[in-house]
Amino acid sequence: MDPTEPVPALSHESIAGVHVERVDLPGDFLDAAARFAPLRGTVILASGGDHDCARHHVLGSLPWLTLTARGGGGELEVDGGRTAFTGDPLSVLRRVLDHHRLPGAVGRGDAPIRAGLLGYLSYDLKDHLESLPRSCVDDLELPTMLLFAPSVLLVQDRRTLATHVVAPSFANQPGRAAASIARCREILAGPLPLADPPVAGVPVSNLTRLDYEQSVREILGAIAAGDVYQVNLSQRFRSAFAGDPYALFARAFAANPAPFFAYVQGGDHQVISTSPERFLHRAGDVVESRPIKGTRPRGDTPAADRALADELLRSAKDDAELTMIVDLVRNDLGKVCRPGSVLVPEHRRLESYRNVHHLVSVVTGRLEPGRDSVDLVRAAFPGGSVTGCPKIRAMEIIDRLEPHRRHVYCGSIGYLGFDETLDLSIAIRTATVAGGTLTWSVGGAVVHDSDPGQEYEESLHKGRTLAEVCAAPAATAATGPIAWHNGRLVPLGEASVPVTDLGLRRGYGLFETLRVDRGRAPLLDDHVARFNSSWLALMPSRPPDLGWADVIAQVTAANRLDDRPTLVRILATRGSRDQAPWDHSLTVTAEPYTHRLALSGARGLRLGCYPDRRQNPLAAHKTLSYILNARAGLWARAHDLDEALILNPDGTVSEGNSTGVLAISGLRAIRPESPAALPSVMAAAVCRQLSAWGYTVETAPLRPGDLMRADHALAMSALMGAVPIIAIDGHERPDDDGLWRRLNDAILPGWDAGVPC
C-alpha cells in the first residue's frame, strides 16, 4: 500500500512536555500493575532475568489517544472523539508520532520513554508492507495494530528499585498532568482487585503432528529447489479459558521471567507475551536488533545442562540458521541506516532462561538523517527470525502452510516514543485471550538439514512455559480435547465429517445439549427420549443402541472434566447412504460450563421479542438447521439482552432462542402453545415437579404481556436449569420469590455453584 496515501488530519493539541514524580509502590511492580490491569488501554512491559536489556519495568494506562487498525482502515480516538480512516495505518502512525514529537533529549535513565504509544503491531500488518497472498483464516478478527498513548507512565528501574510516574502536559490544559498523576496515585492506593484464577481447557493444535511434519517436508522441498533458504513454521494451540488473564500473565512471569514480558488490555481481548527477543530498539539515531535462533531445553542436572548448552554452541545447523537471519537483519537495517554503520558486535551469544538455552546476535546501526521510527519499522517488519529468508517468499510459504492468521504472534509489542525512542519485542511465546478462548503459537526455523520430528519437538519445548502455566503439559498438547466419534475416543480435530455427508451439505442432522455435574446427568433419559423421537421422525434407520451414560462418562473423564459442571453435546449427521450399512456420524464432545448468571452476576435474564417470526415444522426437532435461533441470539446480544423471545406468526410466544419459557400464576402453570417449538427437556422436568407439588399444568397460547403479568416467568434450559425472566423489551418484572431456586434444587442437585443469590 502506498505510504503517501492521505490520512486524517490531527487537529488536537500536541504535547508540550512531561511531568515526572517519584512514587512509592504498595508492594512489587506486578502487584501495582494488577490494579491497572482491568482498565482498557493498560499496557504492561515487564522485564525479568538479569540480561542487559531487562533494566526497566514500564506500565502505561489511562490512554488519551488510541490508534486501532483493522483490514484496510482503522480508527483514531482522541479524548473520546473518533475519526475513521482508510489506507495505510503506518502513515497514520507517522502522523501521530510527528504531531506529538517532544523537544529535547531522548529517554533518560529514570524513564527510557517519556511519552508515546504502547501496544502491539500484529504480524498481519505485513499485508500493508508487501503484496502477499491471504489464504489463511482470520478467525480472531482482532486489530492489526493497537496502540495507546497513556496519560500516565509508571517506570521502575530494576537496579535501584526507584519508581517514577510520568505524565504528558498540554499547554492549553495546565492542570492535566497533575490530575493524571493524582489519578495514578489513587489507583495505586486502592485495594488489589479480586481475580478469578485462570482456568484453561486442554489445548488442541491447528496442525496434527503428521500435518506439522509434512509441512516441514514441503519447506525442505522448497529449499532443495532453491526457492527459499529458511522458513519459520508455527502451529497454534487453542483452548477454552475462564478467569483473569492478568493472573495468567503473573503466573507466567513467576514461572519463567524473560526480558520482554508484556500484557496488553485491549478491552475485548488481552495479549500475554513472555518473549525473550528484542526486535528493534531506538534511542535517537542509534538502533539495535537482537535476533534469536537455536534452542535447546535446560538439563535436569548441571552436567546435563552444560552438555545441552555446548551442543547448541557447536551446532552447525543452528549456526547456519542464525547467520542467515543476521544477514537478513543487517540488510533490513541497511535500508534506513547510514552506509557502513550496520555492525554485528556480538554473534552467537548463549543466553539461558529457565526452560531453554538460546543463541543470540546483536546487530546495531545509526539511522540516516531524516529517518524515523516508522521508517525503521517499515524496513524491518516483521522480524526475519520469525519469517525466514528471503523474507517475502518465506511469508508466502507460511501463509500457505499455516491454517490461521498469526495475529499478534510474530508481530511486535512494546513502545514507540514521542521522544525518538522505540523498544519492540518479537511477539513469540505469546497468547491471546478473546471470546472465552486462549490461543497461543509456537514454531521454529526450518533449514536444509532440518529433521521434521525434531522440528516438531523443538516447537513444544518453546511452548513449555505457556503450556505449564495453562495447566496443560506440552506433551499432551498435540492431541488436545477428546471426542467420542463413531465408537472410539479420538482427538477432537480427528472427529470429522466427509463433505458428502448430508449433515454438512443440507444441515440434515440432530443434536442434544445437556449438562453433567460430577458424573451426574439427571435429565439424561429425557434427552435420549427426545433425541430418539426426532431420529425416528427424520432418519432412515433405527436410533443408535448405545449406553449414552457410559459414552458420556468416557468423554468427560478423557477431558478431565468429571469433577466440575460440563456441557456435553451429542451430534448426529445423516450421512450419504440410502441403505445399510449406514454412514451416519455420531459425535459426543465435552467442555467446561459456567452458569450464565455466574458470568453476568444478574438476578435473572433480560428478554426481548425477536422481530422475525417463524413457522417451521422442523423447529419441533433439534436439527442442525438452527440458524434462526442462532441469529436471534446474536440479535439479543446486539441489543444488550440475554435471550431473544421467538414469536409465532400470530404474535404468541414460541420459545427463547436457547430456552423454553413458562408462566406461573397462583397454582397454574402455562406452557406456550406453539406449532413449531422444540419440546424443552428442562421445561418438561419443571412441569413434572410442579405437578408433584399440586400445581395444574396446561398448554395454552401465551403473549409477551402474559409473561409480564404472571406471578413467575421462567426461562429454562438443561444447562442452566430454571432462571427468572426479569425484563421483556425493557419492561422490568418484579423480583421472584425463589420458586426457581426450589425447582432447581429438586431437579438438578448441585446446580447452583457460583450463581449469585
Q: Which residues are catalytic?
A: 277, 293
**What is the C-alpha to C-alpha distance for residues 129 and 414, in angstroms, rounded to an integer?**
20
736 to 524, 593, 656, 665: CA distances (angstroms): 28, 25, 19, 12
All three cell numbers of 487, joined, read 465408537
The amino acid at residue 193 is P
* CA–CA distance, 361 with 72 (Å, rounded to integer): 35
Half-sphere exposure of 496 (CA within 13 A, CB side): 5
Helix orientation angle between 681-692 and 524-538, rounded to the nearest 10 degrees? 130
> Contact, 462 vs 442, CB < 8 A?
yes
Look at the chain and count its residues. Answer: 757
Q: Are 251 and 196 in contact (CB under 8 A)?
A: no
What distances in angstroms separate CA 554 from CA 7, 150, 483, 544, one per listed residue?
A: 58, 51, 9, 17
Give the number of other Cβ atoms within 10 Å of residue 188's Cβ.
19
Question: Is 736 exposed, middle or buried, given 0-12, 13-18 or 19+ CB atoms closer than 10 A?
Answer: buried
Asked if 574 contacts 539 with a C-beta cutoff of 8 angstroms, the reply is yes
Q: E strands of 243-355, at which residues? A: 260-265, 269-275, 278-283, 286-289, 292-297, 343-352
- Report d(CA 130, CA 124) in Å as an integer: 11
Q: How far is CA 682 from CA 116, 228, 529, 668, in A?
A: 55, 60, 13, 18
DSSP run (H or E) holding 188: helix 176-189
Could you give the C-alpha distances from 431 to 408, 438, 463, 682, in angstroms and in order? 9, 7, 10, 38
C-alpha to C-alpha distance for 161 and 183, rounded to whole angstroms? 22
Coil/strand/helix, residue 342? coil
DSSP 581: S
Question: 3-state DSSP call for residue 739?
Answer: helix
Residue with cell 556480538: 346
What is the spatial distance between Cα 372 and Cα 363, in angstroms, rounded to a whole number? 18
Q: Say if CB 514 and CB 521 are below 8 A apart.
A: yes
Looking up cell 420458586, which residue turns up?
739
What is the rounded distance in angstroms from the CA atom of residue 691 to the CA atom of residue 668? 10
Helix ranges, 38-125 (H):
89-99
What residues are paired with 115 via a beta bridge? none
Phi-psi region of 133 (alpha: psi -120 to 50; beta: other; left: phi over 0): beta
Rg (CA), the chain: 29
CA distances from 711 to 73, 264, 551, 689, 725 (A): 52, 47, 41, 17, 11
